[in-house]
Copies of this chain bind each other. A is one copy, B any other.
Amino acid sequence: MFTSVPVSVYTHPMETFFTFLEKRVDDSSSLLCVGLDPHIPDLAEPTAAAARDFCLNLVKRTAPYAAAFKPNAAFFEVFGAEGWTALKQVIDTIHEESARLGSKIPVILDAKRGDIASTAEAYAISAYETLGADCITLNPYLGLDSIEPFMKYPEKGAFLLCKTSNAGSMDLQNLLTLPTDSHQPMPLYIYVAKLAQQWNTNNNLGIVVGATHPQIMELIRATVPDLWFLSPGVGAQGGELELTLKSGLRADGKGILIPISRALSRAADSGKAAAEIRDQIVNIKREL
């Protein structure tokens, strides 16, 4: 009897970012990623302290329903050093709420960084060690050596931009490419999805696939059945929750995080709005 050891022990002998995220997804029954985007027009006043308070309020109200939190670096950077202090306080508070709930909630720093080796190392230390984030968004344009300094932390994760939700995503990401190892042309976003799958040797690399292009999401899901997606665009940007889940869920009912920001922060009761979205996700998954 004792010779039977789960295969996963051999595949991932230590905790990886995605085993950590999946535990939280199970604990919360949620795929909701609460976006922390303190846009200046949404703040009580244009200060770093107001940005921090805006986020702390959202964190405290929505934590029970959040599979992850995603603070956006730009809206803190805009306040300079004080903004970075606020960002660190927000991340620390998420860790405290996790401890209170008894279930660790991953913090995905939406920073879309991308630079060469020693610089990428500094960005990795900044995100994972100085700020204490668990995951970061990265840009693939500089190639593998710009991603490796992040991937070598197995318990930390990264989502690589693949097909983004904006109109400008047509400019480069939809280009037809002719990879040397393929006989078929393919859109750049498919090539990037395949690269991410190939690079994901530590179970800590996913991709960003916007919810505004459900047919493309379906195509990418068919190409990389196992990768985790981070899929902005539901709500403010017009994507539909049900269509998104139908297009992007993995066979195991996981594999996609749905970032939502304004629909929560602008709700009369952010906690109630988050609970409703979580419940919608549960219901849609049950029906599929």
Which residues of B have CB within 8 Å of A131?
A: 80
The number of residues on chain A lying at the interface, defined by a beta carbon within 8 Å of a beta carbon of chain B, is 62
- The answer to whether A88 and B81 touch (CB under 8 A), given A140-B172, A168-B143, A188-B175, is yes
Copies of this chain, tallied across the complex: 2
Which residues of B have CB within 8 Å of A161?
A: 141-142
Fill in one digit per residue for A67-98: 1 if any B CB lies within 8 Å of its CB, else 0: 00000101101111111110010000000000
A139, A165, A191, most chain B CB atoms within 10 A? A139
Say yes or no for A123: interface residue by CB 8 A criterion: yes
Bound CA span A142–B130, Å: 27
Partner of A191 from the list B74, B77, B175 (CB cut-off 8 Å) is B175
Say yes or no for A112: interface residue by CB 8 A criterion: yes
Shortest C-beta distance, A173 to chain B (Å), equals: 7
Bound CA span A141–B189, Å: 10
Say yes or no for A176: interface residue by CB 8 A criterion: yes
Fill in one digit per residue for A152-177: 1 if any B CB lies within 8 Å of its CB, else 0: 00000000010011111111110111
Shortest C-beta distance, A61 to chain B (Å), equals: 23
Say yes or no for A215: interface residue by CB 8 A criterion: no
Contact B143 A167 (CB under 8 A): yes
Where chain A touches its partner, the secondary structure class is helix
- The answer to whether A74 and B39 touch (CB under 8 A), given A168-B145, A172-B143, is no
Question: Closest chain B residue to A117 by CB distance?
Answer: B166
Bound CA span A7–B123, Å: 45
Say yes or no for A250: interface residue by CB 8 A criterion: no
Shortest C-beta distance, A167 to chain B (Å), equals: 6
Bound CA span A192–B173, Å: 12
Contact B175 A176 (CB under 8 A): no
Shortest C-beta distance, A20 to chain B (Å), equals: 24
Contact B126 A77 (CB under 8 A): yes
Enumerate chain A interface residues (CB-CB to B < 8 A). 37, 39-40, 72, 74-75, 77-85, 88, 112-120, 122-123, 125-126, 130-131, 139-147, 161, 164-173, 175-180, 185, 188, 191-192, 195
* The 4 A-B residue pairs with the shortest CB-CB distance in the complex, in nearest-first order: A143-B168, A143-B171, A145-B168, A74-B122
Known: A175-B191, A178-B178. 16 other contacts (CB 8 A): A75-B122, A83-B84, A112-B142, A116-B165, A139-B141, A141-B173, A142-B166, A143-B171, A143-B173, A144-B168, A145-B166, A145-B168, A171-B195, A172-B192, A175-B177, A188-B188
